[in-house]
Structure 1
């Protein structure tokens, strides 16, 4: 006996119900976000760019039904970071779906992290007032910039960095956006240059340092421009007094042309707020949430430590390679000796360094504004 398949009744597919956000309360939340920015085109969403940290956060919040519309959730961000720049203390303000019982709030950190890429993590949150603004309520911001000592004279850099502290016009230390920025005056609260590995010797060229820069707010590319000039001072290409020259905008209203420091070593380390107490999650789950976050970063650290060791092994192998001298075949020399006493090699000279104050300059702020105004009137 055969079954007539044409007569079998197919069950209708269940229609997935739309999630009804109107049935759930909402609360304004401050989220602290950490991300490794190497693989992203900046933090903030852009019209023609999808691969941003902010887009990934919105995708995660939509997926776990914490928001219904990115354009209607009272969203604010503390700062914009460039393509490649990382953060540990980025803060956003946003209205999220919340638990009906305030005594048992949602496990926001775990909910969001379950659907975020591994190089973006929510690390803490706090309920905040409805008028909270992550940008304008921030008291101060702290950046860190990591670098290898190499041939840099750290004391010269420290001497120059002290001249940046205080209230100054930083138009010669930023990318000028003349039509959007009214004032280029910013206040730097403190700048420190410290060794990351205290056990390493001061004269070790491979030792890792960090520049810690704390200020109320920053101009576009300001940190990377300041670091670039500090490097020129550390290389003895410029005197520490170059800082005063560049800060004197009446004497030098036009910025000399120079390359910014790389974006990769830069991290937005901290954003400070008054009366905002961040926590990994509710008291009952706090320890567990912290352990989860730590385990995640430990795994990433171990993986990248292995990558670093592989590169270091290659570097050391090259440094320790033995080369047979072509003139005296029995003589073995190391690569470290080649530059000084090998008869067949000559020292190559690079292009002559042009001091900053002798270089071509861009337009002044006033010239840029006048140029914009002329275009509008045409």
Structure 2
């Protein structure tokens, strides 16, 4: 005979209702709207807003002031990283100090800096050759590439809900592209679109490599080491490339306080992006962060409604909702590592893993009691 469930006001369950569906709904709701997931969503959208700030200021510089210096803008950001995080490492002693890290790992961080610098340059440069619609679509190639690299390099393993969440997010991007077509933002005077599309694909793949390296460093080493080394070698690489490709463009800039302010806002947004992203990646994963920042284009659109007189479409709101649903689905369940013997659980979605472990019920312990002792106890 089945026992009837006891009334629990906290779950909103009426008396006499059997357990099962209500418990499942309560657990799903608790998982989705837990503090760890909400914190991840909030920090992910802060990253999106920083990306939006870099996009809006870059567009102002390009359209209003005819300034086309993506490498100069990146160089300023790497200099800020150098002044803050590299100097921070310089005051450390021992194995975690700047000299020891450079001596042992200089070629690894040089490779990482080259990848990161060229990823930034490729994506920004692509807008000169192709349309924003193509950039939005092709940039999503980086997500499956990132998942594949995480699978082989970080030994990350995904559950079915993670794949479904990625598909939902990509559907949201498709909705956003459809809204661009309806509102006319997809139209443009782009030439040599094949060159632009290749640059987007290259930039997306390079970003995937950079994000996987970033996830490994921040989860196994320290955030300060990653940013400090990126500031050191990023300044070196971007400075050389700056002198080669943008020497003339910098000399043609008509400097005034507005142009200087736009450069300063771009640099601060980029610095905030680089400083915050390792924190979010440590809480979740690089894949999760890349899904969350798909909303950056939508934030740019909302600013563009007032600044650049874009046309609005209800499809943009639908796209935002779909992307956020997919992002929440991804964050609601922890990934796991293919290396169970490792004590460091940094490869997992650590925030969600802690949440799940806290809510797991203790296993029942079965203890053998001899028949004689059992009779005495009775």
Name the TM-score, length of structure 2 as normaliser.
0.24
Name the TM-score, length of structure 1 as normaliser.
0.24
Q: Which has the larger radius of gyration?
A: 1
Structure (1 or 2) with the greater helix fraction: 2
Structure (1 or 2) with the greater strand fraction: 1
